[in-house]
């Protein structure tokens, strides 16, 4: 991929093909069965468009053989390789969960060389590329779905600063993400309060007098 607008990198930075920084890459497994005594499998609906993994709802599937091959661990990068045309390419970083997790065949798991790159930096790059429509442009379109081949990921060129600078960048962007999450939580609480007030005021359960504050 060409990085338009980048004429010269800062001192110490360099363009790196993703494959140079990858230690391991693996696609998940398909499962059409459900098993309440099985293991949680992360699916498309568990990854948000802003790079988070959520567990508002989740599925348990039969525990696969060689489970260790499929278990997610902190720092694993998940790329949504198959989805709708608009959503293909969603990415997230697995940090922690209240239970062991595996991942479906709609995801590609990437583990990076710790001495070279922070996975958080790759996540922010991928989020930026996704919002610019890059993954749509390289996706293979099928009926109702689109897919991105791993070869396109591995050939991606990313401007990479030294590791200590990556850490600083991740800290700054992470702090912004925390503020955004708090604001969303605050907004959600206010929406719930409003909904309750609307119900009470518009049904007469709560009445106000002229000049009275709610």
pLDDT band at 180 (very low <50, low <70, confident <90, very high): very high
**Chain Cα centroid distance, residue 82:** 14
Does the pLDDT at position 29 exceed 90? Answer: yes
End-to-end CA distance of the chain: 56
pLDDT digits (tens, 9 = 90+) for 69-88: 999 999 999 999 999 999 99
Average pLDDT in the 179-184 region? Answer: 92
In the chain, what is the greatest distance between 2 CA atoms, to the nearest angstrom? 69
pLDDT at 202: 87
- Of 119, 31, 34, nearest to 73 (Cα)? 119
CATH class of 14-161: alpha beta
The band of 210, judged by pLDDT with boundaries at 50, 70 and 90, is low
Q: CA 61, CA 29: separation in Å to the nearest integer?
A: 11
DSSP label at residue 68: G
- The answer to whether residues 28 and 72 touch, using CB atoms and an 8 Å cutoff, is no
Show Cβ contacts of residue 6 under 8 Å, excluding neighbours closer than 6 positions: 159
Eight-class DSSP state of 47: B
pLDDT for res 207: 78
Q: What is the DSSP letter of 29?
A: B
Report yes or no: 89 and 130 within 8 Å, Cβ to Cβ: yes
- What is the model's pTM? 0.86
Supply the pLDDT for residue 2: 46
How far apart, in whole angstroms, are the C-alpha atoms of residue 12 and residue 18? 18
The whole-angstrom separation of Cα 195 and Cα 187 is 12
**Of 50, 43, 49, 33, the residue nearest 72 (C-alpha):** 43
Q: Looking at the predicted structure, is the pLDDT value of residue 4 above 70?
A: no
Residue 3 has pLDDT above 60, yes or no: no
């Amino acid at each position: 991929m060409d990085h338009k607008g980048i004429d010269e990198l800062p001192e110490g930075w360099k363009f790196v093909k993703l494959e140079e920084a990858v230690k391991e890459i693996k696609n998940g497994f398909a499962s059409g069965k459900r098993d309440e005594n099985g293991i949680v499998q992360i699916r498309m609906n568990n990854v948000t468009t802003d790079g988070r993994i959520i567990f508002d709802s989740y599925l348990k599937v039969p525990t696969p053989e060689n489970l260790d091959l499929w278990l997610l661990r902190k720092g694993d990068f998940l790329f949504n390789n198959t989805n709708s045309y608009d959503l293909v390419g969603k990415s997230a970083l697995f940090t922690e969960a209240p239970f062991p997790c595996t991942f479906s065949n709609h995801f590609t798991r990437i583990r990076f060389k710790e001495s070279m790159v922070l996975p958080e930096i790759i996540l922010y790059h991928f989020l930026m590329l996704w919002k610019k429509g890059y993954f749509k442009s390289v996706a293979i379109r099928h009926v109702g779905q689109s897919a991105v081949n791993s070869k396109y990921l591995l050939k991606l060129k990313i401007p990479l600063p030294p590791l200590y600078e990556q850490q600083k960048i991740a800290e700054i962007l992470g702090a912004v993400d925390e503020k955004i999450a708090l604001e969303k939580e605050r907004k959600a609480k206010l929406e719930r309060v409003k909904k309750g007030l609307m119900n009470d005021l518009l049904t007469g359960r709560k009445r106000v007098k002229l000049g009275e504050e709610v």
